[in-house]
Chains A and B, each alone.
Chain A
Amino acid sequence: MSKPYGDLCSFLVKEHFGKAAQAIHKELRSGPKTYKLILSGSGLKSALVKRSLCILIQYGFVKFEPGNNPSIAEYTLLPDNIILLLRYPRYLTIISDKYGAVSRLIIETVLKNGSVPASKVILLVWNRIQAGSIENYKDGLTGVRDTFRQLVVKQYLMSVPCPSQEPNDRVPDLVVSETEQFCFPEIEASILLKMDKGEPVLPPDANIYWRCNFDQFHQNMRDHIMIEAIRNRVDGHAAKFMEILLKKMYLRTEAWATQSNPVPIIEIKEETEKRSPHLTQYLDQYIKIIDEDSCKFIRRTGEGMSGSVYINFVDAFRSLTSATVESIVEHRFGAKSARIFRLVRSKKYIDQEQLQKIAMIPDKEAKQLTYKLIQGSFLHMHDLKRSSSAGPNKSFYLLHVDFNQVVHVVLDMCYKAVYNTLARADHQFSENIRLIEKFEKLNTIANNMRTQGEDPQYVAQLLEEWITPPEKTLLTTVEAMIEKLRLAELYLDETIMVLQLYAYYDTASMKEKPRS
């Protein structure tokens, strides 16, 4: 875990769960620890530590396992889950686009609670619907339950592992069977209704907790990234083809495999016939174009309609990440530096002089740009020593790009940038806290006056008088700034997502065929 990454996680924990949780995060950053070590290290009260640990476990940020001594649990941090906090807004958008407002409320409730029993979620969502979150909702309590079930079936929600039944373990072992993971227990509508009225009934699922299956969301995001890339590269029809191909792929391939199993073209054709005549007519040509494009998203085997296509995720994300990194280089260092960067990547190892010649950049400028890139760790130098006993010892310096390292550098940069936006937004807020609090107070007073039946125009006028114009402009600039920083956070997360997917696929493909 790099420093910017750890800092960012620490900040996120503090922002969402407060200082105590952050202190525990700090303790666990250096590695797994037992409860006693955390207690003494953090200097907090034992009740607070226990409670904070519970919360972190509930949200999946910390896990526990028996350590060297099997009767004592060791707590381990899961920073990869913490960073997902940034992505929560995006999950909500995805779900509301796909399944509508009720699903969005359900997912929101589950995300807010970390892990939670189904009956509780259903009731909470029902309460919010009744409070007016969704207008014209007619399906009632059972409708919410059915939506919940649908989300489980679609694997957006999954059950949390429960303690196994072996009573001898001092450290409980959490288990969940694959079949039960996405199996929704029946909850009678009558029980829900009773619970809603506040009657003491024991729901049948009190021991089954649910959480969001982030992989499913990531899968959606990944598909979206790929489809959009094809739309950029070729056109809308090709994007539709990609969409169909991905859908067909899920029927026979595991979602996170590095390479899909072949999908027969004839099957894609059947699907396109229903949706787009243009695509059907030129399906073969589109496949040829995407296949031959340098982005290497798909590969084709066999000719004509009897052939099939498969998706190569490793190559696809390598191209996507290359494009992203190249674009970052272009923006950071200028177009000519991007040219040098691409050139070095395509030639693998290249001499400075050769580089100047091919890139068509004056020697002096080329040298300056190259050294700037080296300074930023985007280019690397490889020196070849000529072993000669006599004469001047001359060595060659070859430039090359260690792409994984560059991705690492960019990722760290992203983490730092997110951290900066968060810190800055927080800073803006706390600097102007008095103004903001004053404004909120005045708003509440005004609201109260309105409900008490004062003339709304008179209230608005009063509000104008209470806040001076300079205060108002300051308030709007601060608000705009904070909003913009929050937005930037989301865009940054898009970049992080692509880079993380690349890292995932790169390691996965390495495991399949180890580097010789």
Chain B
Amino acid sequence: MGDSVDVNSQLVLAFIAAAGSNGCLNADLEKGVPDISNENRVAAINALITKRLIDIFQVGSKLGYKIKPQDNEPADLLNADTEEKIVYGVIKEAGNKGIWMRDIRLKSNLQPTVLNKVLKSLENKKLIKAVKSVSATKKKVYMLFELEPDSTLTGGSWYSDQDFESEFVDVLNQQCYRYLVELRHKHENDQSSTKKGPLAMYNLSSANCGQVCKFITDLGISKVPLSEEDIRTILDTLLYDGKVERKLTINGEFTYRAVNPLVSPPGLVMLPCGICPVISECHLTGNVSPFSCPYLKDWGSKPIIKVQREEI
């Protein structure tokens, strides 16, 4: 009996393999191997499925089979059970973007409790790993153990362990600004560049991403290598800080240059009222009033009112 199943399954497998990656329908199989009885054929197909040599699929109401692509599964998986293998397959498909537990459950049709057990055992075998995404810290996604998570999950250079490194960004922001300011200073105090005319000086005091990137790398403040793209995001924050100006050159790249603000601090902020957090509640009568205002009192007893802004 065992032998006949083996022989039959060889025949069936050969036929299905011949059908290629599109597989063949059950009816085709019946015609293709006519000398096997229905029961034997079913037994052979079942044997092949347990051995994970073929896959079964449905087209409309008809059943079809196709050959399962042979992949190099890790040795640990060989003696794992079917559920583990299925889950492993689903996770593998997701690549380095990872996949949520919910999506695994939908794809594999497993019960949550079973799935949990399977995932845990796979994790213990170091076949898969759970990675937290920066965009949604509470959701875990699974991916194969050996994969490097995608930058959308890790957030790129600015994240370490899902935490945004705001100090790191701030330091880089300051250093980039320092570089641009010093560049401008250097040329403004240099007599020879003054002679070249304002436009030449303008261009000399501008820098592109590459130059800034090189400066930052030379400083050695970053442990991770920073790309020009990373530096550009930092320079853009400076742009939105209003400290630098960006200009598109003929080559299609941006140059950045430190600028002075157009106006010195306006009169409003010289006065405590300009920065008062409760100004909307300030009335002549009431708890917040200009008569009893402690801010005004402190400010009134200090001598200097307007400090000239330092020239860059």
Binding site for B on A (CB under 8 A): 229, 232-235, 237-238, 281-282, 285-286, 288-289, 292-295, 319-320, 323-324, 326-328, 330-332, 335, 338-340, 342-343, 346, 353, 358-363, 365, 410, 413-414, 416-417, 419-421, 423-424, 427, 477, 480-481, 484-485, 487-488, 490-495, 498
Beta-carbon contacts of B253-288 to A below 8 Å, as 1s and 0s? 000000111111111111101110001001010000
Asked if A494 and B301 make an inter-chain contact with CB atoms under 8 angstroms apart, the answer reads no
Chain A residues contacting B274 (CB-CB under 8 Å) are: 328, 331-332, 413, 417
Interface check B147, CB cutoff 8 A: no
Q: Nearest B residue to A324 by beta-carbon distance?
A: B266
Of B19-27, B108-116, B207-215, B233-241, the one contacting chain A is B233-241
Cross-chain contact B296 with A420 (CB below 8 angstroms): yes
Contact present for B306 and A420 (CB under 8 Å): no
Known A416-B279, A417-B271, A488-B271; judge A427-B291 contact (CB<8 A).
yes
Q: By the criterion CB–CB under 8 Å, are A294 and B245 in contact?
A: yes
Could you list 16 further interchain pairs (A-B, Cβ under 8 angstroms) beyond the known A320-B262, A421-B273, A492-B271? A282-B199, A289-B199, A294-B245, A295-B262, A320-B263, A358-B233, A359-B237, A416-B282, A417-B279, A420-B290, A421-B271, A424-B290, A480-B300, A484-B299, A491-B267, A492-B270
What 9 pairs between A and B have smallest CB-CB spacing? A491-B267, A417-B273, A285-B199, A481-B300, A420-B290, A331-B269, A323-B262, A495-B266, A362-B164
User: B57 near A: Cβ within 8 Å?
Assistant: no
B78 at interface, CB cutoff 8 A? no
In whole angstroms, how far apart are the Cα atoms of A90 and B146 in the complex? 73
CA distance A23 to B261 in the complex (A): 44
Name the one of B158, B197, B245 contacting A282, with C-beta atoms under 8 angstroms.
B197
Q: Which of A237, A362, A410, A498 contacts B198 (CB 8 A)?
A: A237
B294 at the interface (CB under 8 A from A): no
Distance between Cα atoms of A148 and B301 in the complex (Å): 43
What is the bound-complex CA distance between A238 and B199, given in angstroms?
Answer: 12
Known A417-B274, A423-B291; contact A363-B164, beta-carbon cutoff 8 A: yes
Q: Is the interface of A mostly helix, strand, loop or mixed?
A: helix
Contact yes or no, B268 A339, CB < 8 A: no
* B305 interfacial by beta-carbon distance below 8 Å: yes
Which residues from B are CB-within-8-Å of A229?
A: 262-263
Could you say which residues of chain B place their CB within 8 Å of the CB of A326? 242
B247 within 8 A of A: yes
Chain B residue with minimal CB distance to A7?
A: B284
Tell me the bound Cα distance from A285 to B203 in angstroms: 12
- Knowing A417-B273, A424-B293 touch, does A484 contact B266 (C-beta < 8 A)? no
In the bound complex, residues from chain B placing their C-beta under 8 Å from that of A491 are 266-267, 270-271, 305-306
Q: Complex formed: what's the CA distance from A229 to B257 in Å?
A: 18
C-alpha spacing A495/B271, complex, angstroms: 12
Using CB atoms, name the residue of chain A closest to B270.
Answer: A491
Option from A328, A359, A480, A487 in Cβ contact (under 8 Å) with B269: A328
Q: Identify the interface centre among B267, B268, B291, B299: most chain A CB within 10 Å of its CB.
A: B268
* A420→B273 contact, CB < 8 A: yes
Do the beta carbons of A494 and B267 come within 8 Å of each other?
yes
Given A323-B262, A326-B242, decide whether A423 and B290 contact each other with a Cβ distance below 8 A: yes
In the complex the two chains form, is A285's CB within 8 Å of B198's CB? Answer: yes
Instruction: Establish whether residues B300 and A485, one from each chain, have CB atoms under 8 Å apart when the complex forms.
Output: yes
Which residue of chain A has its CB nearest to the CB of B234?
A360
Whether A494 contacts B266 in the complex (CB less than 8 A), given A281-B197, A326-B242, A477-B301, comes out as yes
| Partner pick for B261 among A323, A353, A481, CB 8 A cutoff | A323
A495 to B265, CA, bound (A): 9
Within the complex, the shortest CB–CB distance from B295 to chain A, in Å, comes to 10
Q: Residue B169 at the A interface, CB < 8 A?
A: yes
Asked if A498 and B291 make an inter-chain contact with CB atoms under 8 angstroms apart, the answer reads no
7 A-B contact pairs sorted by A residue (CB < 8 Å):
A331-B265, A342-B240, A342-B242, A360-B237, A413-B273, A477-B300, A480-B300
List, in ascending order, chain A residues with CB within 8 A of B303's CB: 480
A324 and B263: CB pair below 8 A? yes
Q: Is the CB of A232 within 8 A of B268?
A: no
Q: What residues of chain A lie closer than 8 Å to B247, measured between beta carbons?
A: 292
Option from B135, B264, B305 in Cβ contact (under 8 Å) with A484: B305
| Residue of B with least CB distance to A11 | B284
From 134 to 171 in chain B, residues with beta carbon under 8 angstroms from any chain A beta carbon are 135, 158, 164, 166, 169
Q: How far is the CA of A51 from the CA of B270 in the complex (A)?
A: 39
B293 touches A327 (CB 8 A): no
Closest residue of chain B to A375, judged by CB? B280
- On whether the beta carbons of B197 and A427 are closer than 8 Å, the reply is no
Closest A residue to B247 by beta carbon equals A292
A289-B263 CB under 8 A given contacts A360-B237, A365-B166: no
Most-contacted residue by chain A among B135, B271, B299 (CB, 10 A): B271
- Evaluate whether A327 and B261 lie within 8 angstroms (CB atoms) in the complex, with A332-B274, A494-B266, A495-B266 already known: yes
Cβ-closest chain B residue relative to A345: B240
When chains A and B are docked, how far (Å) is the Cα of A358 from the Cα of B234? Answer: 9
**Docked pose: A493 CA to B266 CA in angstroms:** 10
**A361 in contact with B166 given A232-B263, A339-B241, A484-B300 (CB within 8 Å):** yes
Identify which of B198, B262, B265, B284 contacts A289 (C-beta below 8 A): B198
| Known contacts A339-B237, A416-B273; is-contact A423 B284 (Cβ 8 Å) | yes
Which B-chain residue is minimally distant from A411 (CB atoms)? Answer: B268
In the bound complex, residues from chain A placing their C-beta under 8 Å from that of B261 are 232, 323, 327
Contact assessment for A232 and B264 in the assembled complex, using a CB-CB cutoff below 8 Å: yes
Instruction: Report the Cα distance A358→B238, complex, angstroms.
Output: 11
| Contact residues in A for B237 (Cβ distance below 8 Å) | 339, 358-360
B175-209 vs A, CB cutoff 8 Å, 1 = contact: the mask equals: 00000000000000000000001110010000000
- B residues less than 8 Å from A414 (CB atoms): 268
- Which of A324, A338, A485 is packed against the most chain B CB atoms within 10 Å? A324
A326 to B158 CA separation, bound complex (whole angstroms): 27
Q: How far, in angstroms, from A146 to B173 measured CA to CA in the complex?
A: 61
- Whether A343 lies near B166 (C-beta < 8 A) is no
B216 smallest CB distance to A (angstroms) = 15
A413 touches which one: B199, B268, B293, B301 (CB < 8 A)?
B268
In the complex, the answer to whether B263 meets A410 with C-beta atoms within 8 Å is no
With a CB–CB cut-off of 8 A, which chain B residues contact A495?
266-268
Given contacts A360-B169, A420-B290, contact A338 B268 (CB under 8 A): no
Given the contacts A229-B262, A331-B265, A338 and B273 also touching, CB distance less than 8 Å: no
* Whole-angstrom CA separation of A481 from B301 in the bound complex: 7
In the complex, are the beta carbons of B269 and A332 less than 8 A apart? yes
Which residues in B have their C-beta under 8 angstroms from that of A413? 268, 273-274, 279
Q: Whole-angstrom distance between the alpha carbons of A360 and B158 in the complex?
A: 9
Are the CB atoms of A285 and B291 closer together than 8 Å?
no
Q: Identify which of A238, A346, A487 gathers the most chain B CB atoms within 10 Å of its CB.
A: A487
**A330 proximity list for chain B (CB < 8 A):** 242
- When C-beta atoms are compared, the residue in chain A nearest to B306 turns out to be A491
Q: Contact: A493 with B267, CB < 8 Å?
A: yes
Chain B residues positioned under 8 Å from A492 (CB to CB): 267-268, 270-271
Task: Give A360 Cβ to nearest chain B Cβ, in Å.
Answer: 5
Contact between B266 and A327 (Cβ–Cβ < 8 Å)?
yes
Most buried by B among A233, A420, A485: A420
Contact A332 B202, CB 8 Å, known A320-B262, A427-B291: no
